[in-house]
Amino acid sequence: MNNDERTIGLFGALAIGIGGMVGGGIFAVLGEAVSIAHGSTAFAFMVAGVVALFSAYSYSKLSVKFQSSGGTIVFIDNAFNHSLFSGSVNFLLWLSYLVTISLYAVAFASYSLTFFPDQNSLVLKHIFISLAIILPGIINLINASIVSKSETIIVVLKLSLMFVVIVVGFPYIDTSRLAPSTWVSPVSMVAAGMIIFVAYEGFELISNAAREIKEPQKNLPRAFFGSVIFVIALYVLISIITVGAVDEKTLLEAKDYALAVAAKPALGQFGFVLVAIAALLATFSAINATIFGNARLSFALSLEGELPNFDKRDTLNPKAGVLSTIALSLLLANLIDLNAIAIIASASFLLIFTITNLSAYMLKDEIGGKKYIYAFSTFISFVALVTLLVHTYTNDKFALVIFASFIFVSVAFEFFYGRVYRKAFLD
């Protein structure tokens, strides 16, 4: 594609990455991070950001070479020659987005319940979880263009409110709450960072827009690194305000809506309500956008023989992809709690990023770049994944079982459907 035909500049590419990361993730997992890392929560976010930054190097080089709307699935297919392995990983990516939808839906329900007297009502919780998935699904079925038109407004609103919380919250910081005596061990700090890693995974969406980005050799690396560095700074500042301005007991009691509580010291109940409304908009729009993207990912995978193709040629509005995304997300969101969902989502993306970094190393002669960075990126993301799995084995075996079942289902489905039925991996 000629540069004149491309429509997204550097600012637009940065917006894709920042919007993808600062979706519903920070609203959903901030309380989880505090419950594990305590006074060292900011360092946990920083550790997770460093892992994301190294993966961004691989993504920047792969995106310049393979400019396709397929993004991650194209990179892995090129490295592993469209094999059963790559098909299984791509199916796992599709499942991982279902988990992120579930994560955002549970967060939406948690913030919704703050407007009701009975905040522990299980009935209301499941009603809000279901509405958070069904309503965006209906929007995608009726008019998918609403998704892209609304995203920019929501991103600006989210960032503006976060900066307000940061600016007005600084005078209320109690430094004793951030003192080294409140920190956890380095291993626990890394484990906390990996549990909330899902809050960073959205930078990879830049790769899906690579064909539309102007001057890709220059702007793609700037977009990947710029967006990740910006979000690291944002998350670190937010976590400092949250932990420093609010006592830990209050935060843990309001773990599922911790960011709204962080606005209270400076802005009172008005700030709490304002951030809660922003969280509802952010998580709703994140679900909207993820359903939009995952339905199209399912269509792309169906063309490769990795998923059934019920939409035939309807690439603009793949209704079957939307309906399957809604149905499976509803099941996950209503059956698994927030902590387990965060762990499963983060573990899935850490595994996918490990394989993507490995793909970059395998394709180093084609894509250029420093092979030792690709090797270290693979190593650090793998170590992060192992740390998370070891921590999960100790603290939440159920989440580990679900994650293992995701891997098993991905391989089994691709073997029986892709290899045996469609014969997609026999070339």
Among 4-8, 183-187, 363-367, 409-413, the minimum mean pLDDT is found in 4-8
Q: What is the pLDDT of residue 292?
A: 76
Cβ proximity of 156 and 150 under 8 Å: no
Work out the percent of the chain whose per-residue pLDDT is above 90.
Answer: 52
Assign 285 a pLDDT band (cuts: 50, 70, 90): confident
Q: What is the pLDDT of residue 234?
A: 94
Among 82-96, 97-111, 143-157, 347-361, the minimum mean pLDDT is found in 143-157
Sign of the Cα pseudo-torsion (16, 17, 23, 27, in order): negative
Assign 318 a pLDDT band (cuts: 50, 70, 90): low
Cβ proximity of 100 and 292 under 8 Å: no
Question: Three-state DSSP class for 213?
Answer: strand
Q: Report d(CA 35, CA 251) in Å as an integer.
A: 8
Tokens describing residue 365: 């002669």
Q: Report d(CA 223, CA 169) in Å as an integer.
A: 29
Q: What is the pLDDT of residue 317?
A: 59
Sign of the Cα pseudo-torsion (54, 55, 60, 65, in order): positive
- Nearest Cα to 134, choosing from 164, 95, 108? 108
228's enclosing H/E stretch is helix 216-245
Cα separations in angstroms, 372 against 47, 369, 376: 20, 9, 6
Q: What is the pLDDT of residue 419?
A: 67
Tokens describing residue 51: 């892992």
User: Left (φ > 0), alpha (ψ -120 to 50) or beta: where does 276 sit?
Assistant: alpha
Assign 376 a pLDDT band (cuts: 50, 70, 90): very high
Q: Report d(CA 393, CA 37) in Å as an integer.
A: 18
Tokens 């023989």 -> residue = 305
Longest dimension (CA), the chain: 64
Instruction: Report the mean per-residue pLDDT for the chain.
Output: 87
Q: Is the pLDDT of residue 289 over 90?
A: no
DSSP 415: I
Cβ proximity of 101 and 294 under 8 Å: yes
- With vertex at residue 190, the alpha carbon angle to CA 369 and CA 208, rounded to the nearest 5 degrees, is 40
Question: Three-state DSSP class for 30?
Answer: helix
Q: Report d(CA 189, CA 204) in Å as an integer.
A: 24
Sign of the Cα pseudo-torsion (199, 201, 205, 206, in order): positive
DSSP 121: -
Q: What's the whole-model pTM score?
A: 0.90
Phi, psi of 199 (to 5 degrees): -70, -10
Tokens describing residue 53: 């930054």
Q: Report d(CA 216, CA 149) in Å as an integer.
A: 24
DSSP 69: T
Q: Report d(CA 122, CA 302) in Å as an integer.
A: 37
Which residue type does 243 have? V
Phi, psi of 120 (to 5 degrees): -105, 15
Sign of the Cα pseudo-torsion (108, 114, 119, 121, in order): negative
From the CA atom positions of the chain, what is the Rg in Å?
A: 20
Cα separations in angstroms, 289 against 113, 231, 272: 23, 19, 25
Question: Three-state DSSP class for 33?
Answer: helix
Among 18-22, 156-160, 318-322, 422-426, the minimum mean pLDDT is found in 422-426
Assign 293 a pLDDT band (cuts: 50, 70, 90): confident
Tokens 């400076």 -> residue = 266
Of 349 and 418, more confident: 349
Q: Report d(CA 43, CA 194) in Å as an integer.
A: 12
3-421 to CATH, choices 3.40.50.720, 3.40.50.300, 1.10.3720.10, 1.20.1740.10? 1.20.1740.10
